[in-house]
Structures are given as structure tokens and as C-alpha cells.
Structure 1
Amino acid sequence: MVVAAVSDFGPVLFDGTGQAIYVFDVEKTSQPRCYGSCAVAWPPVLTDGAPLAGDRVEEALLGTTRRSDGTTQVTYDGHPLYFYAHEGKDEVKCHDVFLNGGTWYAVQPDGDRAPTPST
């Protein structure tokens, strides 16, 4: 289940347990590029069936893609989704952070990246 909830960056996507969901800016299509040590730090959002749209999530933007190991990864607006391994429930620690060769962004319910905080 993918839901939208309020964060420091406005409404962003979380899974049903409150884990924040991210996209990786180097992935321009639904094909995942985060494997190995990248996927240890940024575990893919996986599913055994069709992903479910919860509160304020656009069902039409949810989809899936096949990973090289045969698992099924959830996509949103055509982009693979990931968690950050070092976050707890309702935390969004890695929005607009450069790691593993690209920048990671929390995702708004419309599929766009969440706004970058002002400095």
C-alpha cells in the first residue's frame, strides 16, 4: 500500500507502515539502476501483486517493473521506488541528498519531486 502523508517537505509518499518512499534521479525510465551496495542502502519497494493506492495517491500513477533478480518493484509515474534503509517510521531524512551516484528525492502524490528546502 502506498499512501501520502504530511512531511517537512509537504505531502509525500510512504508505505502503509510509515516508511518514506524515494526516487533516484539517474533513473529516467522504469528500469532500475540501483543494485548491489546501492540497493542495500536504498532497498527497492517490492510487491508480490498489484500495488495498492491509499489516501491521496493516484492509482493511475502506480505500476511495477521487473528487477534483474526477478522481483517486482513498485513504480510511480514511471519511476522505480525505494526506501532509505536508515530511517524509521514517519522520517524523511534523505530528500535531496546525493548518494550512490545520484540524488534521491521524496515523491509528491502528483509524481513530482518534493520541493527542495530553502537554505
Structure 2
Amino acid sequence: MRKLLFVGALAVGLFATGCGGTEEKDATEPIAADGVKATPTASASASVSASATPAAAGAMVDLAETKIGKVLVGEKGRTLYLFEKDKNGKSACSGPCAQAWPPLVMSEKPRAGNGIKENLLGTTKRDDGETQVTYNGHPLYYYIKDQKPGDTTGQDVEAFGAEWYAVNTNGEKVHG
């Protein structure tokens, strides 16, 4: 029984520290399952329980006021983010990264809500075959730790090899 517990603990530890090719500068700091550097008080058993957001038919992108300013939001008013590791409109976030930062995927053309520039809305094909919504060429993502409309806990977070930022109406990262 002790061997089984040890093997299980070892597997969880390897998963939590080896998520999806994180390129952290200081490998001595513990990494949580969402790829964010853990603080000394963070739980060693952090995990990501949600899966990627299911494809929405004709995903709606809106603009909403938050504590960091007006940002793009998707379903249920949840903040949308860009990932600085993405290049040329292609997502660099898959596997454990996409579990922590679910991509905004859809099955029909995305729709522009109030304050959204329709000409900046687009799509890109993901490696898994899904169609992801883009804005000004940036693939868009939710953050699993945002629980309600207006949450921006993913703002200026470094995870999975780059930084994450909320997106403004011009399709640029929000500073703040």
C-alpha cells in the first residue's frame, strides 16, 4: 500500500512541476499545475480541474468595465486574455496550458458585441482541430481562476513560458 501511495504522490508531483514545457527562469521555484510560480504558502497539491471551454456556436465577444479598465469578455462576462508566446496568430497553448487557460473556441463565425471592432475579430485553427477566436490577430483565452464577471486574476501572470494580459478594444494588452 505504501508503494502505491508513493507512486501516486510521485506522479502528482511530476505533473505539477513538469506541465507542458514551462520555460521558467528559476527552476528552483515550485510550479503549480497552472504553470504559475507557486508562493511558499501555495498548496503543493494544486491542480486544474476544469477542461477547455466547449465550442460555442457563433461566440460573442463583448467589452466590459473591470478594475483594470475596459476589457474584452466572452461567455458570461468572463475576461479574455492574450498569451505573449503566441506568434503569427497561432496558439502556443495546449495540453495543461489549455486546461488552465481555456481557449475561446467556436463552431460558427464570432460575433462582435458592443464596443468591439468587428474587423479585428477573426479565427485560427488550433493543433487539436478546434477553431479559436482571435482579436487583432491574438488568439483569445479564459483563465480558470476567474470565477465571475469582472475577475481579472490572469492579468500580468507569467505562466507556460510567457505573460498573459487582458485585451482592450484595440486588441492590445491592458497595462494595469
Quickly name the TM-score band, shorter chain normalised. over 0.9
- 1:75-111 CA-to-partner distances (Å, cap 9, x unmatched) read 0001110000121121111111101111000000111
Q: Normalising by structure 2, report the TM-score.
A: 0.64
Unaligned runs of 5+ in 2: 1-59
**Helix, strand or coil for the counterpart of 2:111?**
coil
> How big is the alpha-carbon RMSD for the aligned residues of Structure 1 and Structure 2?
0.9
CA contact (8 A) 2:145 2:154 kept: no
- 1:14-36 CA-to-partner distances (Å, cap 9, x unmatched) read 01411110000111321111001
Which protein is bigger by CA-based radius of gyration?
A: 2
Distance in 1 separating the partners of 2:67 and 2:175: 10
CA contact (8 A) 2:91 2:139 kept: yes
Which consecutive aligned stretches of 4+ in structure 1 deviate over 4 angstroms post-superposition? none
**1:55 and 2:114 matched:** yes
Residues 57-76 of structure 1: pairs in structure 2 closer than 5 A: 57-76=116-135
Distance in 2 separating the partners of 1:55 and 1:64: 19
**Helix, strand or coil for the counterpart of 1:39?**
helix
Alpha-carbon shift at residue 64 of structure 1 (Å): 0.3
Q: Which residue of 2 aligns with 1:41?
A: 100
Aligned match for 1:80, one of 139, 142, 149: 139
Number of aligned residue pairs? 116
**Helix, strand or coil for the counterpart of 1:17?**
helix
Q: Which residue of 2 aligns with 1:114?
A: 174
Unaligned runs of 5+ in 1: none
| Greater RCO, 1 or 2 (C-alpha within 8 Å, sep 6+) | 1
Q: Which residue of 2 aligns with 1:102?
A: 162
Higher helix share: 2
- 1:32-67 CA-to-partner distances (Å, cap 9, x unmatched) read 110011001000000111000001000000000011
Q: Normalising by structure 1, report the TM-score.
A: 0.94
AA of the residue aligned to 2:159 = L
State the identity as a percent. Answer: 43
AA of the residue aligned to 1:101 = G
Distance in 2 separating the partners of 1:16 and 1:56: 16
Distance in 2 separating the partners of 1:85 and 1:71: 19
